[in-house]
Amino acid sequence: MASEATHEEAGHAEDAAHTQTQGEYIQHHLQFLTYGKHPDGHWGFAHTEEEASEMGFWSFHVDMLGWSVALGLLFVLSFKKAAEKASAAAPTGFQNFVEWVYEFVDQNVKDTFHGKSALIAPLAMTIFCWIILMNFMDLVPVDILPWVAQTITGSHETAFRVVPSTDPNVTLGMSISVFFLIIFYSIKIKGVGGFLKELAFQPFGPKMMPFNLLIEVPTLLAKPVSLGLRLYGNLYAGELVFLLIALFGAFQLPAHFVWAAFHLLVVPLQAFIFMMLTIVYLSQASEDH
């Protein structure tokens, strides 16, 4: 009897330890599954937000990297399969969908990009579809996949996020990649001298070079920052609202469905904006003044 009472008390103590306040619940759901180097020199997963912070720059958000790669592979392999099995005589529903997406992206590229490059349309389609898939993960109920991760690890402390576009490392990584393409096309089309002259001599002419640089350099550097932070901010806000709705308990379903319906507009819109700005920036980089 004493042994049973002891086990029961231990169970109650464990449940109490796992009870979270509303603030702790939200804070825990906003943590990443982080892998990095601990202060004592060994590599491993962070168990608390403080440990993740101590790991510094050379740490990895394993959950975000994993979902990004998995969703990217899902896009590539599914579209590749549709292309291999394409049939003009008896097209499937998925083939029609893929063709519609291709035509939609290709038309936007033709209307916006004024240079000549075989890379822009595939790049735009990859960005659009990849970001949509990442954004749609925000519609998965916020507790399901973290609960699966905690069940697998056996620890209630395991942090696990599933929306890659709520991680600024992911969104800024994509926007910085676009920024490098902007620089590449600017130098390819205009040459190094032409690119530097464009920065130094526009818009007021050579005599106003210092003022031109004060305008053009921040404008150039702001492109990847605004591109990445816009996507991150909108999806992070959406995720936060879903977490706040989850605190309603049994009354969360009506609010959850209303916000999810509204979020269905945000998910493709943010992917479309990122794609269109990428096309516009690369079009500007390809124009030789």
Task: Confirm whether 21 is domain-assigned.
Answer: no
Catalytic residues: 226, 230, 234
- Exposed, middle or buried: residue 128 (CB in 10 Å: 0-12, 13-18, 19+)? buried
Give the residue-averaged pLDDT of 30-52.
90
Q: Which pTM does this prediction carry?
A: 0.87
Task: Confirm whether 193 is domain-assigned.
Answer: yes
Task: Confirm whether 261 is domain-assigned.
Answer: yes
Task: List, for residues 109-157, the tens digit of each pLDDT value.
Answer: 999 998 777 889 999 999 999 999 999 999 988 889 999 999 998 888 8
- Does residue 271 sit in helix, strand or coil? helix
Report the percentage of the chain scoring pLDDT > 90.
Answer: 51
Side chain identity at 223, as an amino acid letter?
K
In the chain, the number of structural domains is 1
Q: How confident is the model at residue 258 (pLDDT cuts 50, 70, 90)?
A: confident
Task: Confirm whether 228 is domain-assigned.
Answer: yes
Q: What pLDDT, on a 0 to 100 scale, did the predictor assign at position 221?
A: 92
Task: Confirm whether 22 is domain-assigned.
Answer: no
Domain assignment of residue 225, given as a range: 63-286
> Phi and psi dihedrals of 40, rounded to 5?
-80, 0
Q: What pLDDT, on a 0 to 100 scale, did the predictor assign at position 269?
A: 95
Task: Confirm whether 89 is domain-assigned.
Answer: yes
Q: Is a pLDDT exceeding 80 seen at residue 233? A: yes
Give the residue-averaged pLDDT of 191-212.
83
Beta bridge partners of 60: 35
Task: Confirm whether 192 is domain-assigned.
Answer: yes
Task: Confirm whether 24 is domain-assigned.
Answer: no
Q: What pLDDT, on a 0 to 100 scale, did the predictor assign at position 19?
A: 67
Residue-wise burial string across 218-257, b where 16 or more C-beta atoms lie within 10 A, e elsewhere:
eebeebbeebbebbbebbbebbebbbebbeeeeebeeebe
